[in-house]
C-alpha cells in the first residue's frame, strides 16, 4: 500500500518520463538522427545533435526500429511508425551478409564496414520486426521476426559458424539473457513454441551456470558447465547487465502470473547487483566489479554510464511490483533521482552517456555505435506503463 508521499513521488516520476519521451528523447533522434536520403538512423551525434560520423550501427537500426515501433503503439505517433519502417527497410536491404549473418556497422548507404562474431545485430533486428508487426498490424513482420529468431538459434548452435573469441570453451551472460527478452517481445505476435522453449532454457542456464551464490552475483562468463573461470575476464561482474537480466526475468514471471520461483530468482539477481554496483559515495551504478575484489581491468570500470542507471530504474519498479517490498521503491528512487540529477543535458536535450565516477561529464556526445535511442526511451516507455499499473 503506497503512502501519499510515495504516490505523489511516483506520479511525479510518471509525469517526468511521460513528458521527456515525447518532448525530449524522441524529438532529438527524429530531428537529428534520421537519414532522409538512405533511410535508417544515424547515431553518432555530438552533444548538440551534429552528425559526427555517418557510419551506421546495425544494432541501432534494429534498436531504433523496436523503440520507434513501441513509441508508435504507446504514443500513437505516425512519425515514429514511419521511422520504424525506414529502419527495418534499411536492415532488410543492407544489413545481412550473404551467409545470413548480419553486419555490425555499414556506411550511410549500406556498404559493409565491420562484421563481428556475435548475433546481437540479429537480436535487435528481430525485436524491431516483431514490435513493428504489432504497430503496423502487419503479420508478415511477425513471421520474419520468428524466422530470424530461429536463424539466431541455428547460428549459435552450429559449430564453427560463429568464430569463438577464446581458445577455451565458455558461455556468455549477454546472449543468454538477451534471448529471454527477444523471445518475450516476439511472444506478443507469435505463439511459436520455440519462444517459450528458449525462455525456459535461458532461465535454466542463468540459474544453473551463471548465478554464483558463493559470490552473490551473476558472472559475465563461465565454463560450458558453469565452471568458475578464475581469471580477470572470468571474474567480471557487470551490475547494470545483472539489473537488466533481473527485470527480464520478472517480466517473464509477470506473464506467468507472478511465478514465485521466477520472482525469487529475479529479485535475488537484482539484490546482488545492487550490492555490487551501487556507489554509496557518489550515487549511481558503476560499470564493473571483480567478484574476488581485485581491481577490474576495463578502463571504464568506475565510470557511470547511462544504461545501467536505466536498467536499475526498471529493475526497482519491476521488483516492487512483483513483491510490494518498499526497499525496491527506495532502490528505484535512488536510481531515478541520481540519473535525473546528472545525465540530462539541460542545454541541448537528451542524456549524456559517459560520466566520471563523481558524475561529471567525461565526454558529451549523445551517441556513437553503442549509445543511441534505446535504453533511455525503453526505460521511459516501460516505466510509464509500470507507474500506471502501480498507481492503478
User: Which residues of this chain interact with its own copies, rule CB under 8 A?
Assistant: 44, 46-47, 52-55, 103, 111-115, 165-168, 230-233, 294-303, 354, 356, 362-365, 368
Closer CB to its own copies, 120 or 141, in the complex = 120
Closer CB to its own copies, 246 or 353, in the complex = 353
Closer CB to its own copies, 246 or 373, in the complex = 373
Q: State the nearest-atom distance from the C-beta of 248 to its own copies, in Å.
A: 25
Q: State the nearest-atom distance from the C-beta of 206 to its own copies, in Å.
A: 25
Q: State the nearest-atom distance from the C-beta of 111 to its own copies, in Å.
A: 8
* Closest CA relative to residue 107, chosen from 93, 123, 124: 93
* Closest CA relative to residue 42, chosen from 58, 27, 22: 58
Output the nine-digit C-alpha cell for 134: 504489432
Closer CB to its own copies, 5 or 167, in the complex = 167
Closer CB to its own copies, 135 or 303, in the complex = 303
Output the nine-digit C-alpha cell for 17: 518520463
Q: State the nearest-atom distance from the C-beta of 306 to its own copies, in Å.
A: 13
Q: State the nearest-atom distance from the C-beta of 57 to its own copies, in Å.
A: 11
Q: Where are the alpha helices (DSSP H) in the chain?
A: 4-20, 26-32, 58-75, 78-94, 120-136, 139-157, 173-187, 193-205, 239-255, 260-277, 306-323, 326-342, 375-391
Distance from C-alpha of 232 to C-alpha of 119, rounded to nearest angstrom? 24
Closer CB to its own copies, 67 or 365, in the complex = 365
**Beta strands at 361-363 and 354-355: parallel, antiparallel or unpaired:** antiparallel
Q: Long-range CB contacts (< 8 A, 24+ apart) of 209-217?
A: 209/171, 210/171, 210/173, 210/176, 211/265, 211/268, 211/269, 212/291, 215/291, 215/292, 216/272, 216/275, 216/276, 217/242, 217/272, 217/273, 217/276, 217/289, 217/291
Distance from C-alpha of 247 to C-alpha of 194, rounded to nearest angstrom? 21
Q: State the nearest-atom distance from the C-beta of 295 to its own copies, in Å.
A: 4
Q: State the nearest-atom distance from the C-beta of 292 to its own copies, in Å.
A: 8
Report CA dihedral (214, 220, 222, 224) to the nearest 10 degrees.
130
Closer CB to its own copies, 254 or 366, in the complex = 366
Amino acid at each position: 500500500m503506497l503512502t501519499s508521499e510515495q504516490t505523489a513521488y511516483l506520479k511525479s516520476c510518471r509525469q517526468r518520463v511521460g513528458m521527456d519521451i515525447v518532448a525530449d528523447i524522441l524529438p532529438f533522434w527524429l530531428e537529428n538522427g534520421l537519414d532522409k536520403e538512405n533511410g535508417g538512423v544515424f547515431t553518432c551525434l555530438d552533444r548538440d545533435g551534429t552528425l559526427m560520423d555517418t557510419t551506421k550501427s546495425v544494432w541501432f537500426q534494429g534498436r531504433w526500429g523496436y523503440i520507434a515501433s513501441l513509441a508508435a503503439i504507446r504514443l500513437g505517433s505516425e512519425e515514429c511508425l514511419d521511422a520504424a519502417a525506414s529502419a527495418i527497410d534499411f536492415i532488410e536491404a543492407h544489413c545481412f551478409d550473404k551467409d545470413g549473418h548480419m553486419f555490425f556497422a555499414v556506411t550511410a548507404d549500406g556498404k559493409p564496414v565491420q562484421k563481428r562474431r556475435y548475433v546481437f545485430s540479429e537480436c535487435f533486428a528481430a525485436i524491431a520486426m516483431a514490435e513493428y508487426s504489432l504497430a503496423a498490424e502487419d503479420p508478415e513482420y511477425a513471421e520474419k521476426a520468428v524466422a530470424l529468431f530461429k536463424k539466431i538459434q541455428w547460428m549459435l548452435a552450429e559449430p564453427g559458424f560463429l568464430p569463438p573469441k577464446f581458445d577455451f570453451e565458455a558461455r556468455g551472460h549477454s546472449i543468454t539473457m538477451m534471448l529471454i527478452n527477444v523471445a518475450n517481445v516476439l511472444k506478443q505476435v507469435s505463439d511459436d513454441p520455440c519462444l517459450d522453449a528458449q525462455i525456459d532454457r535461458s532461465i535454466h542456464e542463468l540459474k544453473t551456470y551463471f548465478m554464483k551464490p558463493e559470490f552473490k552475483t551473476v558472472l559475465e562468463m563461465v565454463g560450458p558447465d558453469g565452471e568458475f573461470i578464475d581469471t580477470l575476464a572470468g571474474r567480471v561482474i557487470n551490475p547494470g547487465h545483472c539489473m537488466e537480466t533481473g527485470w527480464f526475468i520478472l517480466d517473464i514471471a509477470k506473464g506467468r502470473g507472478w511465478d514465485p520461483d521466477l520472482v525469487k530468482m529475479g529479485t535475488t539477481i537484482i539484490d546482488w547487483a545492487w550490492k555490487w554496483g551501487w556507489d554509496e559515495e557518489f550515487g549511481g551504478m558503476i560499470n564493473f566489479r571483480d567478484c574476488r575484489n581485485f581491481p577490474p581491468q576495463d578502463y571504464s570500470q568506475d565510470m557511470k554510464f547511462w544504461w545501467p542507471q536505466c536498467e536499475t530504474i526498471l529493475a526497482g519498479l519491476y521488483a516492487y511490483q512483483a513483491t510490494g517490498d518498499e526497499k525496491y521503491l527506495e532502490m528505484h528512487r535512488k536510481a531515478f533521482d541520481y540519473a535525473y540529477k546528472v545525465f540530462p543535458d539541460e542545454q541541448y536535450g537528451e542524456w549524456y552517456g559517459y560520466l566520471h565516477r563523481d558524475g561529471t561529464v567525461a565526454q558529451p556526445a549523445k551517441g556513437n555505435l553503442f549509445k543511441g535511442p534505446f535504453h533511455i526511451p525503453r526505460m521511459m516507455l516501460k516505466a510509464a506503463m509500470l507507474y500506471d499499473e502501480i498507481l492503478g
